Amino acid sequence: MDPVSFDDAATMLYGLSPAEFTAARDEVAGQARAAGQKDVAAAIKKLGRPTVSAWLVNLLTRQAAGQIGELLTTGEALRTAQQHLDGEQLRELSGQRRRVIAGLLLETGRIATEHGQAAGPALLREVETTLDAAVVDPHAAAAVAGGRLTKPLAYAGVGGDDQDADGMLAALQAVAAQRAGRTARAPGTAKAPGAAPDSAPAAAARADPAEAAASRREQAIAAAEQAHAAAAAQAAEAADDAADAERAVAGLAEQRQFLARRIETLERELAEAEAEQIRIGREHTRAQRARDTSVRTAAAARRQLEQAEQRLATLRDDR
């Protein structure tokens, strides 16, 4: 018997549905034992059956490898942008992550339908949580890429969702505001560590009116620029959300069309099966009638044979 490869066996098993997994795993483990590979058999036997959502993510790595690769690449870039406090990159990559995950959820629904699995909101949420974890956690990313998940993944650390990304953006804006404040301060007015801050009236009394007015204008401009940047970011995110919603609507419409065609096909097959049932029923009735006629004919023939045998016996006795 050929030796069994653990990696090949695991890859094959985690592509199977949870309902098929256990029987197939035990069969492969038995093949390894028969080949004398006790350690491999024991390792295969320890493989856990996947949940439905984990199985669907495993199928995504096989049937939507390009989209999964884009998701993991986006996650790596997002983590780098967070480390460098790159607000523009964070906004762009957060939108890209949402788009990729939305596409993968549509693909999940299609795959589930193909396998006769209902893809309800709770199931899709588990898939989405796993994909989010793969974005923010390199260990989760490696687990998803391996295609051997047994349960959904979750990540509770900083950077795990859009709120974390928004918090990072807020922090960047705060840093920008602090820098703007330091720039607006007149030269030579910096305070020593621990010194009490000047009151507003005292500072205004010592400052030159023209310089004070210029400082106020600079601060107003900085505040306006920050407000403009925040509004632009919100507008961009709203546009991304609207685009995601439009894609979701289009994807669901496509699924509805697919299901409508499937229903039409099944209805046609049902009508053909019912027609075939009627035809077979008629043939069955004719066959029963022919059988009954044959039985009656055979019974009559047996009676005639018995009568003929009796006459023959009588004639022989008279002879």
**186 occurs within a structural domain:** no
Q: Is the pTM of this model over 0.85?
A: no
User: Which is higher by pLDDT, 216 or 22?
Assistant: 22
DSSP states along 246-266: HHHHHHHHHHHHHHHHHHHHH
For the chain, give the percent of residues with pLDDT over 70: 69
Is there a single domain that holds both residue 118 and residue 231? Answer: yes
Return mean pLDDT, the chain. Answer: 79
Burial 31-52, CB ≥16 within 10 A → b, else e: bbbeeebeebbeebeebebbbb
* Rounded Cα–Cα distance for residues 228 and 249 (Å): 31
Pair 13, 28: CB distance under 8 Å: yes
Pair 90, 165: CB distance under 8 Å: yes
**271 occurs within a structural domain:** yes
Is there a single domain that holds both residue 251 and residue 138? Answer: no
Is there a single domain that holds both residue 33 and residue 80? Answer: no
Domain end, chosen from 202, 237, 272, is at 237
Q: Using alpha carbons only, give the angle 109, 110, 112 rounded to the nearest 5 degrees.
A: 65
What integer pLDDT is reported at residue 45 of this predicted model? 94
**111 occurs within a structural domain:** yes
Hunting for tokens 């939108």 — which residue is that? 95
Is there a single domain that holds both residue 89 and residue 230? Answer: yes
**298 occurs within a structural domain:** yes
Angle between helices 87-114 and 65-83 (to 10 degrees): 160
Domain end, chosen from 237, 261, 280, is at 237
Sign of CA dihedral 39, 40, 45, 50: positive
Is there a single domain that holds both residue 232 and residue 313? Answer: no
Is there a single domain that holds both residue 89 and residue 106? Answer: yes
**153 occurs within a structural domain:** yes
What integer pLDDT is reported at residue 17 of this predicted model? 94
Is there a single domain that holds both residue 159 and residue 95? Answer: yes
Q: Which residues contact 246 (CB under 8 A, 6 or more apart)?
A: none
C-alpha dist (Å) from residue 294 to 111, 285, 300, 307: 56, 14, 10, 20
C-alpha dist (Å) from residue 8 to 21, 50, 68, 175, 219: 15, 17, 21, 52, 64
The per-residue pLDDT for range 157-182, each reduced to its tens digit, is: 533 344 444 444 444 444 444 444 44
When mean pLDDT is compared across 79-93, 167-181, 264-278, the lowest value belongs to 167-181
**75 occurs within a structural domain:** yes
Is there a single domain that holds both residue 310 and residue 297? Answer: yes
User: Which is higher by pLDDT, 254 or 15?
Assistant: 15
Closest CA to 29 of 18, 15, 17, 44: 44
The answer, yes or no, to whether residue 73 has pLDDT greater than 90, is yes
What integer pLDDT is reported at residue 165 of this predicted model? 42
Is there a single domain that holds both residue 67 and residue 171? Answer: yes
Pair 152, 126: CB distance under 8 Å: yes
Task: Name the token pair of 244.
Answer: 């995601």
What integer pLDDT is reported at residue 250 of this predicted model? 59
Which three-class secondary structure state does DSSP give residue 15?
coil
Is there a single domain that holds both residue 232 and residue 112? Answer: yes
Q: Which residues contact 194 (CB under 8 A, 6 or more apart)?
A: none
* Domain assignment of residue 264, given as a range: 244-319
* Rounded Cα–Cα distance for residues 299 and 283 (Å): 24
Give how many domains the chain has, as a whole number: 3
Is there a single domain that holds both residue 84 and residue 231? Answer: yes
Q: Which residues contact 284 (CB under 8 A, 6 or more apart)?
A: none
Is there a single domain that holds both residue 100 and residue 231? Answer: yes
**315 occurs within a structural domain:** yes
Q: What mean pLDDT comes out for the span 68-94?
A: 88
Query: Radius of gyration over alpha carbons of the chain, in Å?
Result: 39
Alpha-helix runs per DSSP H in the chain: 6-13, 18-34, 38-45, 52-63, 65-83, 87-114, 121-136, 138-146, 162-184, 200-206, 209-318
**294 occurs within a structural domain:** yes
Residue type, 182: R
Closest CA to 28 of 4, 7, 46: 4
The per-residue pLDDT for range 108-167, each reduced to its tens digit, is: 999 999 999 999 999 999 999 999 999 999 999 999 999 999 999 987 553 334 444 444
DSSP-derived secondary structure letter, 14: T
